Structure 1
Amino acid sequence: MSGPFHLFQVAGLEIEYMIVDAATLRVLPRADLVLRDASGAVVSDVEHPDISWSNELVSHLVELKTTGPTPRLAGTAGAFQDHVRRINVLLGPHGARLLPTGAHPFMDPSAETVLWPYEYGPVYAAFDRIFGCRGHGWSNLQSMHINLPFCGDEEFGRLHAAIRLLLPIMPALAASTPVLDGRITGYLDSRMSFYGKNSARVPSVAGMVVPEPLFDEAAYRRDILDRMYRDMAPLDP
């Protein structure tokens, strides 16, 4: 399909999984076992007709995502699960498997983090230099993303307003990380407690988590994106 797309005409879904030892469930930095092209070379993306595989930041993470925008969500869950099975078949001979949920409950990110060294490796190294990515808000974090289109400022404003309304509610609906470092943290959504402060060196990156009430694209770029880029520039010349 080709755009431009209007509100809810299509969607893109992304779900992240961690690779773990099948017996102990400790994280294994072996996404290279899965992300290989037809020649056997390690790559950052493997494209399939329905669901593609990729990596972000750390070597124990595999992201599954719809291959391009999809007009129908019906059947998508089954497609994702089919690819989970396919990846587990590749990992099985190495004593590994995929593990879902929002964060690993007993990973020690300061000791177990291995940044992805292949394509985009220099980008991830820069993030690590600026923010320190060996913590729960970065390397021990699995997300599910919903990508939605808009066409023009009127649709942008409606979508942005709806997102601002839903964001405070989402942790109550999707909290799945009450345990970190092998301990009950006191938060049902520990992932969110770290997400809000993982970019503390550049506060404009996360802001207040719920974005400001800006309802046209130019204002969003001026007051959110451009400010973030200006704040980042001295740290990444």
Structure 2
Amino acid sequence: MTTSDTAHHDKNRVLRTRDDAEGYVASVCFKHGPPRLAGVELEWLVHQAATPAAPLDPTMLRTALGPYAPTSLDPGSPARALPGGSLVTVEPGGQVELASPPLAPFGTLVRTVIADSTVLHDRLAAHGLAVSPSAADAVRPARRVLDLPRYRAMEHRFDRIGAWGRSGMCSTAAVQVCLDAGEKAEIGRRWDAVHALGPVLIAAFANSPVLHGRRTGWKSSRLAAWLALDPQRTAPPPPSSGDPAAAWARRVLDTELLCVRRADGRWDAPPGVTFAAWIRGDAALPGPPTVADLEYHISTLFPPVRPRGHLEIRYVDAQPGRRWALPAAVLAAVLSDAEVRDRARDACEPALGRWISAARYGLADRVLQRSAVTVFELALSALAPLEAPSWLVGELTVALERGVRRGLCPADRVRPAPGPPAAGSTAHTGGTSPAGPADVPEEARA
């Protein structure tokens, strides 16, 4: 985010070799520069305020968003930015997303996003719509609102894999934090740090124990769904090879195509075909792929951290009200200082790789809980230079003292949903893991 891409790449340039494609991915996905800016992408599940269990009416949503509606929902919309510069998008199930501009210092980002989200939520409320405080739809079955070729192709692919795809697409919401990739010499350390922090922050902010009408057995049903819906596309990476750009480029080329854009609107990709196979000509696809095709393919990978020039950190559940600022503050503070970052990374060492345990048990996993205490303490020690508002420092302190130190996350305060599962629900709701066996030993939870 700190360095603008001044090179005007020819989007129609044909990619004829794997090396050419990997070189392009590595060059555009990790931009070098001083780590200064931060941004957020906030998603909210939207429902009718008077009847939360009713299906969302896209016409009602389009009217509520008015001139801020994205063209995916209203092709004739001017798609204006909110007063602070944030853009509004809509996810497949009608989730509304606010994407902030990159800003510094962090306190400016918080104030800007709160003002923009207030405008957005006031518009929704004026038209009888409300946003959920949870990261998963506790009442309604998964239902796709946007009928676009991309989402039809996603749905078809995910349906072939299992039952979690529609839930992940249509019934979940996240806090995504965007930070600069950093100076070239530091990128590997920052990449390792944001992944080491992943299980700890997932556990600390897990906020989706109820999905489609019943408790799933997971503190973060949202992450459980995403890890299971298409693992090659959503799984965290293996331990760093020391060159995250090269490793990411290989992963992009070796991931199967989710969709192939065609003029007739039929975007389904042939099963089992990777982008590398398309370059080799091993599949019956239109022509060799172009740079534009590669960029679109990158947009169909959804790992916990996605490099997009900056680092798009995608693993935290949506939070109620202004509490989205808490996980954003922890990440921004810890990553703002190299010494603090490295101490946080060391504190997370015992919890490395505990993604599934974090989603299932939250801070009841005592390994994660002990790491979280240190991470929160380090974040609070580093917040002052970021000019965070005093209320945020106060709420983060309360979250540490009344939540993290006690082994509690937001999911532990969610009351059970009344009544049976919503009609038509197909998501997993039992105690078996959708993403592999639970990886927390009994003694770690003692």
Category of TM-score, reference length = shorter chain: 0.7 to 0.9
The equivalences for 1:188-207 within 5 A come to 188-199=219-230, 203-207=231-235
Quote the residue 1:32 is aligned against: 62
The equivalences for 1:5-154 within 5 A come to 6-26=33-53, 28-30=56-58, 31-33=61-63, 34=65, 36=67, 42-43=76-77, 45-67=79-101, 69-109=102-142, 112-114=143-145, 116-117=146-147, 121-132=148-159, 135-151=166-182, 153-154=184-185
Give the superposition deviation at 1:107. 1.8
Give the superposition deviation at 1:190. 1.4
* Identity rate, percent: 23
Question: Which residue identity is paired with 1:3?
Answer: T
Greater strand share, 1 or 2? 1
- For residues 55 and 230 of structure 1, do their structure 2 counterparts lie closer, same or farther at Cα, with a shift above 3 Å needed? closer
Q: Distance in 2 between matches of 1:218 and 1:142?
A: 28
Name structure 1 gaps, 5 residues minimum: none
Q: Which moved more, 1:49-58 or 1:9-18?
A: 49-58
Q: Distance in 2 between matches of 1:49 and 1:3?
A: 24
Give the superposition deviation at 1:75. 4.2
What secondary structure does 2:119 align onto? helix
Decide whether the 8 Å contact of 2:172 with 2:222 is kept in 1. yes
Decide whether the 8 Å contact of 1:150 with 1:156 is kept in 2. yes
| Aligned residues: CA RMSD | 3.0
The TM-score, its normalising length taken from structure 1, stands at: 0.79
Question: Which residue identity is paired with 1:128?
Answer: E
Decide whether the 8 Å contact of 2:85 with 2:100 is kept in 1. yes
Name structure 2 gaps, 5 residues minimum: 5-31, 260-268, 274-284, 286-446
Decide whether the 8 Å contact of 2:154 with 2:258 is kept in 1. no
Work out the number of aligned pairs and report it: 225
Highest CA radius of gyration, 1 or 2? 2
The TM-score, its normalising length taken from structure 2, stands at: 0.45
- For residues 37 and 164 of structure 1, do their structure 2 counterparts lie closer, same or farther at Cα, with a shift above 3 Å needed? closer
Decide whether the 8 Å contact of 1:167 with 1:210 is kept in 2. no
Q: Distance in 2 between matches of 1:220 and 1:29?
A: 42
**Residue among 186, 193, 210 paired with 1:162:** 193
- For residues 59 and 231 of structure 1, do their structure 2 counterparts lie closer, same or farther at Cα, with a shift above 3 Å needed? closer
Quote the residue 2:423 is aligned against: none
Give the superposition deviation at 1:175. 0.4
Decide whether the 8 Å contact of 2:45 with 2:95 is kept in 1. yes
Quote the residue 1:216 is aligned against: 243
The answer to whether 1:173 aligns with 2:204 is yes
Q: Which moved more, 1:158-167 or 1:28-37?
A: 28-37
Give the superposition deviation at 1:80. 2.7
Decide whether the 8 Å contact of 1:164 with 1:211 is kept in 2. no
- For residues 163 and 17 of structure 1, do their structure 2 counterparts lie closer, same or farther at Cα, with a shift above 3 Å needed? same
Runs of 4+ aligned residues of structure 1 deviating over 4 Å after TM superposition are 40-45, 229-233
Decide whether the 8 Å contact of 1:18 with 1:99 is kept in 2. yes
What secondary structure does 2:44 align onto? strand
